[in-house]
Amino acid sequence: MTGAQASYLKTLSEQAHDPEAFDPGLTKAEASQRIDALKARLSLDK
């Protein structure tokens, strides 16, 4: 994953109270999917 993806995923995982969602070994595609899933989850929680 890119540095920007790592930073964003780390932030989203903290906001979602799901630190295990962040995995530094993810590929770019995996990180993108996880970011999308966390964004969807966070928007549903509001």
Got the DSSP string for 6-42? Answer: HHHHHHHHHHTT-GGG--TT--HHHHHHHHHHHHHHH
In tens, the pLDDT along 16-30 reads: 999 999 999 999 999
Predicted model pTM:
0.88
The band of 44, judged by pLDDT with boundaries at 50, 70 and 90, is confident
30-43 core/surface letters (b: 16 or more CB in 10 A; e: else): ebeebbeebeeeee
